[in-house]
Chains A and B, each alone.
Chain A
Amino acid sequence: MLTLSGVSKHFGGVQALIDIDIAFEAGRVHALVGENGAGKSTLGKLILGIHRPSAGKVRLDGHEVAIHQPADALGLGLVGIAQELSLMPRSSVLDNIALGREVTRHGLVDRTATLKAVTGVMERFDMRLDPHAIVGTLPVAERQKVEILRALSRDARLIIFDEPTARLATYQAKQLLTLIRSLAAAGKAVIYVSHFLEEILEVADTITILRNGRLIRTGPAAAETRETLVAGVTGQNYQSQFPKRSVPPGGSAPVLRVRDLSSKGLFEGVDLNVHAGEIVGLAGLVGAGRSEVAHAIYGAAPVDSGTIEFDGKALTRRSIRQRIDAGMAIIPESRRDQALFLARPILENVSLPHLKRFSNWLGLRKRAEKQAVTASCADTSVKYTALGDHVDTLSGGNQQKILFARAALGRPRLLIADEPTRGVDVGAKRSIYEMIVRLAEQGEAILLISSEIEEIMGLCHRVVVLSRGRVAAQLSGQDLTEQAVMQAAFSGG
């Protein structure tokens, strides 16, 4: 029904999708699997008109179509059910489903006829909801149904589900999978994007594996097993791109000691130690609470209970400022949203948390600042023309290194790196890995969060696996295998 041929997409210098050929058929569930950044979501967004392909053709029923914006996709019957639901929380189920499709008479909305049309769709697909309930008061699973019903009432031909079960309890996830099968049975084409391999094997007819923007293979789900999928998703031969690991020093007291840390609805009872010179991985699936734990340790999010000790001193209730002064640094998950000032010079971006060092009663000592920033950028191999250049002129990899330069300027005792290689090219990845290992050799304690299992395996001395907000396993030495990490991540806490 829908065919993509030779489709590529790049964002700036980053290749998100490379020469993809793929076909989706009516009545079938087609799953896309891959790591974060493999290109699954980007592929969905191309179909939905959120992004435009840089190259390649899209055909619907054999005719070439141009999908320039979301409205084009909707007009063709291509609909997405997003991770973050796009509903009007204060309106009723009815209004949400009928949005833009209200039945009108003489230019006015005919509520009775609209209600009839909506209940008709509900009955046809056996998804009964109270049409007058306010959407914001419904649980997530029900809200998802509202969104699916909206898609169906718009005569969707192809529905893309992007991580639909990430926020659902197990039994709700099961119900959703049943529903998705019934949509396929009703003749819809379904694209299913998920990290949960079990779900995929259960629901999909066809599976496509993506890795680093390339299509690795497409085949019937029956031919795949969990093991073949894991192998396909992670790829083989990855050890070579990682630098030689430092030997973790033993014995000393931990730099960071987290005990029984809980934040309602996000994570619970998390215990965690990081020693000087040690790289500890925080692994888990999207939504398992990794970034939330990191933010809590850094003081960027409140906790309900538990303690955080840093160098033997309790700082559970201290501000971010105090933690930075005590020697903590973070490289946040999203450099655009949480870290960088794109329209400001490199210099200011690097020195911001450490300005106290370059200030006296007369104001900033700009020469000292410039010297220190130059040195720090050299240490972290940032490539730039002038420190006065705005950060948005740099490539993704260099932007990421700016954050390492910022952290390094404070000579931290603990570095929390949250997805430090997201959206950077292979070369930059390699140098970031080297940087992390070097920092550990210099005695920094490092807490590394990564969705890429190969990063965790290639860099970490010890791995703490989170699953649904709880520590599912602590692995090191002989026990630290990819299999064990994946097992724990999928264990469901």
Chain B
Amino acid sequence: MQTLLRFARAYGIVLVTVLLFVLLATTTEGFATLRNFRNILDQQSTVLIAASFLTIATIAGNFDVSVSAVFVATPLVALAVENATGSVPLAVLAAVLTGAAMGLFNGIIVARFRINSFIATLATSFMFFGVGYLVSGRSLLRPIGQDYPMLARTQILGLTSSTWVSFLMVIVATILLTRTRFGRNVFATGGNPEAARIAGVNVPRVQATTFVLLSTAAAIAGVLNSSRSLSAQPSDDFSFVFSVLTAVIVGGTSIAGGQGAVWRTVAGAFFLAFLSNGFNLHQIDPIWQRLIEGMVILIAVGVDAWTQRNSK
């Protein structure tokens, strides 16, 4: 039983994703087409970018609600700069730096002042949403030049630049987590913070770094999203972080910290993408999609809780 659970925990998500893929490919017309896959990859790119780095923050033992607010506010910063200067590099730089600064703010609050990460980032979310309203003057912003829309929409080898960026970010997150000292420290910090401290890990700095990386990634996702949709609008919309978190959790990264992997999150994201794509192609009422998604999350969290208990 124990080994079965461990196996399910380790590779269940890949198995389920592949099964869903095969099921859809054999039963659903229009699923197994190049065009459809390109679409799925492009649609999932922003979620993948943020989810890869939320995986890291989650493994370090924290949660970040403000991913949404950074995702909403930073493209407004980018477009405000683009509108003012006409320079796309400057716009992107401004957005990324703003994202990094927001992440640092989160990191300092959580790591130094030891405030629960969920509550702290809920509070900073409202501040960051506020920044969005301030820089945009409460109105929808559009790019003035022709270059900004190309950030996400350039076709390279048949895929959008947005897709390529998401691949790159997944690879960067994977390397950080599995092949660097920082990655080891992340696992240690989330797995047993006191033991990590005793082993000489600077726990607050590791935690803060995960927040900076995550917000920077969320800013890149936000800019790509605004480039794709040719606009950015100030709002208090929290939905993005829930799509991102769902991918992380369904992938099987433990919300208790200390365990997880970026490839899991990628599998989780594609499982959800296939699911939603399948529903769309069959033209099933989206309400059913919600119900099924909710169940999938519960199953994923249930498996996690169960294995946690059994390993105690």
User: In the bound complex, do residue B179 and residue A364 qualify as a contact, i.e. CB atoms below 8 Å apart?
Assistant: yes
Return B3 CB to nearest CB of chain A, in Å: 11
CB nearest neighbor in B for A369: B184
Check B199 for interface membership: any CB of A closer than 8 A.
yes
The residues in A between 433 and 474 inclusive whose CB is less than 8 angstroms from any CB of B are: none
Contact partner of A338 among B179, B194, B311, CB < 8 A? B194
User: In the bound complex, do residue B258 and residue A344 qualify as a contact, i.e. CB atoms below 8 Å apart?
Assistant: yes
User: In the bound complex, do residue A321 and residue B180 qualify as a contact, i.e. CB atoms below 8 Å apart?
Assistant: no
**B192 — which chain A residues lie within 8 A by C-beta?**
337, 340-342
**B179 — which chain A residues lie within 8 A by C-beta?**
363-364, 366
Contact partner of B191 among A344, A363, A364, CB < 8 A? A344
User: In the bound complex, do residue A343 and residue B259 qualify as a contact, i.e. CB atoms below 8 Å apart?
Assistant: yes
Contact partner of B199 among A352, A363, A392, CB < 8 A? A352
The residues in B between 192 and 240 inclusive whose CB is less than 8 angstroms from any CB of A are: 192, 194-202
User: In the bound complex, do residue A363 and residue B175 qualify as a contact, i.e. CB atoms below 8 Å apart?
Assistant: yes
Give bound CA distance, A330 to B200, whole Å.
Answer: 11
Return B2 CB to nearest CB of chain A, in Å: 11
Check B188 for interface membership: any CB of A closer than 8 A.
yes
Interface mask (B88-101 → A, CB under 8 Å = 1, otherwise 0): 00000000000000
User: In the bound complex, do residue B181 and residue A355 qualify as a contact, i.e. CB atoms below 8 Å apart?
Assistant: yes
Return B203 CB to nearest CB of chain A, in Å: 10
Give bound CA distance, A366 to B200, whole Å.
Answer: 20
Band of interface residues on B: 20 to 34
**A141 — which chain B residues lie within 8 A by C-beta?**
none
User: In the bound complex, do residue A343 and residue B197 qualify as a contact, i.e. CB atoms below 8 Å apart?
Assistant: no
Check B187 for interface membership: any CB of A closer than 8 A.
yes
CB nearest neighbor in B for A345: B187
User: In the bound complex, do residue A352 and residue B188 qualify as a contact, i.e. CB atoms below 8 Å apart?
Assistant: yes
User: In the bound complex, do residue B311 and residue A364 qualify as a contact, i.e. CB atoms below 8 Å apart?
Assistant: no
**B188 — which chain A residues lie within 8 A by C-beta?**
341, 344, 348, 352
Contact partner of A300 among B185, B187, B197, B311, CB < 8 A? B197
Return B311 CB to nearest CB of chain A, in Å: 6
**B201 — which chain A residues lie within 8 A by C-beta?**
321, 352
The residues in A between 296 and 343 inclusive whose CB is less than 8 angstroms from any CB of B are: 298, 300, 319-321, 323-324, 330, 332, 337-343
User: In the bound complex, do residue A363 and residue B258 qualify as a contact, i.e. CB atoms below 8 Å apart?
Assistant: no
Return A408 CB to nearest CB of chain B, in Å: 14
Give bound CA distance, A298 to B197, whole Å.
Answer: 11
Check A356 for interface membership: any CB of B closer than 8 A.
yes
**B180 — which chain A residues lie within 8 A by C-beta?**
359, 363-364
User: In the bound complex, do residue A392 and residue B195 qualify as a contact, i.e. CB atoms below 8 Å apart?
Assistant: no
Check A232 for interface membership: any CB of B closer than 8 A.
no
The residues in A between 345 and 372 inclusive whose CB is less than 8 angstroms from any CB of B are: 348, 351-353, 355-356, 359, 363-364, 366
Contact partner of A341 among B175, B200, B202, B258, CB < 8 A? B258
User: In the bound complex, do residue B195 and residue A341 qualify as a contact, i.e. CB atoms below 8 Å apart?
Assistant: yes
**A298 — which chain B residues lie within 8 A by C-beta?**
198
Give bound CA distance, A355 to B192, whole Å.
Answer: 17
The residues in B between 135 and 180 inclusive whose CB is less than 8 angstroms from any CB of A are: 175, 179-180
Contact partner of A330 among B181, B187, B191, B198, CB < 8 A? B198
Return A70 CB to nearest CB of chain B, in Å: 17
State the interface size on chain A (CB cutoff 8 A).
29
Return B261 CB to nearest CB of chain A, in Å: 13
**A356 — which chain B residues lie within 8 A by C-beta?**
181
Return B226 CB to nearest CB of chain A, in Å: 33
Give bound CA distance, A41 to B194, whole Å.
Answer: 25
Give bound CA distance, A209 to B199, whole Å.
Answer: 38
**B198 — which chain A residues lie within 8 A by C-beta?**
298, 300, 320, 330, 332, 338-339
**A332 — which chain B residues lie within 8 A by C-beta?**
195, 198
Give bound CA distance, A363 to B178, whole Å.
Answer: 9
Give bound CA distance, A453 to B28, whole Å.
Answer: 74
User: In the bound complex, do residue A344 and residue B195 qualify as a contact, i.e. CB atoms below 8 Å apart?
Assistant: no
Return A348 CB to nearest CB of chain B, in Å: 6
Return B271 CB to nearest CB of chain A, in Å: 24
The residues in B between 54 and 86 inclusive whose CB is less than 8 angstroms from any CB of A are: none
**A366 — which chain B residues lie within 8 A by C-beta?**
179
User: In the bound complex, do residue B202 and residue A321 qualify as a contact, i.e. CB atoms below 8 Å apart?
Assistant: yes
**A359 — which chain B residues lie within 8 A by C-beta?**
180-181
Interface centre among B197, B202, B259 (most CB of A within 10 A): B197
**A342 — which chain B residues lie within 8 A by C-beta?**
191-192, 311
CB nearest neighbor in B for A406: B199
Give bound CA distance, A199 to B146, whole Å.
Answer: 87
Give bound CA distance, A332 to B180, whole Å.
Answer: 26
Give bound CA distance, A363 to B175, whole Å.
Answer: 8
Contact partner of B200 among A321, A337, A338, A392, CB < 8 A? A321
**B187 — which chain A residues lie within 8 A by C-beta?**
341, 344, 348
Give bound CA distance, A339 to B201, whole Å.
Answer: 12
Give bound CA distance, A364 to B187, whole Å.
Answer: 15
Give bound CA distance, A342 to B188, whole Å.
Answer: 10
User: In the bound complex, do residue B194 and residue A348 qualify as a contact, i.e. CB atoms below 8 Å apart?
Assistant: no
**B196 — which chain A residues lie within 8 A by C-beta?**
341, 352
**A351 — which chain B residues lie within 8 A by C-beta?**
184
Q: A341-B191, A344-B187 are in contact. Are A320 and B258 (CB under 8 A)?
A: no
Give bound CA distance, A321 to B197, whole Å.
Answer: 9
Contact partner of A364 among B181, B197, B199, B200, CB < 8 A? B181
User: In the bound complex, do residue A353 and residue B199 qualify as a contact, i.e. CB atoms below 8 Å apart?
Assistant: yes
Return B32 CB to nearest CB of chain A, in Å: 37
Return A193 CB to nearest CB of chain B, in Å: 26
Interface centre among B185, B198, B202 (most CB of A within 10 A): B198
The residues in B between 247 and 265 inclusive whose CB is less than 8 angstroms from any CB of A are: 258-259
User: In the bound complex, do residue B195 and residue A355 qualify as a contact, i.e. CB atoms below 8 Å apart?
Assistant: no
Give bound CA distance, A183 to B198, whole Å.
Answer: 44
CB nearest neighbor in B for A295: B198
Return A331 CB to nearest CB of chain B, in Å: 10
User: In the bound complex, do residue B191 and residue A337 qualify as a contact, i.e. CB atoms below 8 Å apart?
Assistant: no
Return B281 CB to nearest CB of chain A, in Å: 40
**B184 — which chain A residues lie within 8 A by C-beta?**
348, 351-352, 355, 364
Return B172 CB to nearest CB of chain A, in Å: 12
User: In the bound complex, do residue B200 and residue A324 qualify as a contact, i.e. CB atoms below 8 Å apart?
Assistant: yes
The residues in A between 235 and 265 inclusive whose CB is less than 8 angstroms from any CB of B are: none
**A338 — which chain B residues lie within 8 A by C-beta?**
194-195, 198
Q: A352-B201, A359-B181, A364-B181 are in contact. Are A343 and B311 (CB under 8 A)?
A: yes
**B191 — which chain A residues lie within 8 A by C-beta?**
341-344
Contact partner of B194 among A321, A337, A353, CB < 8 A? A337
Contact partner of B195 among A324, A340, A363, A364, CB < 8 A? A340
**B185 — which chain A residues lie within 8 A by C-beta?**
352, 355
Return A270 CB to nearest CB of chain B, in Å: 20
Return B173 CB to nearest CB of chain A, in Å: 13
**B175 — which chain A residues lie within 8 A by C-beta?**
363
Return A269 CB to nearest CB of chain B, in Å: 26
Give bound CA distance, A69 to B175, whole Å.
Answer: 47
Q: Sort A-B residue pairs by CB-CB distance and give the 4 closest, nearest first.
A: A363-B179, A341-B191, A355-B181, A321-B200
In the complex, 7 of the A-B residue pairs with CB atoms within 8 angstroms, ordered by the A residue number, are A321-B201, A337-B192, A352-B184, A352-B188, A353-B199, A355-B184, A366-B179
Known: A337-B194, A341-B191, A341-B258; 5 extra A-B contacts, CB below 8 A, are A320-B197, A337-B195, A340-B192, A341-B195, A359-B180
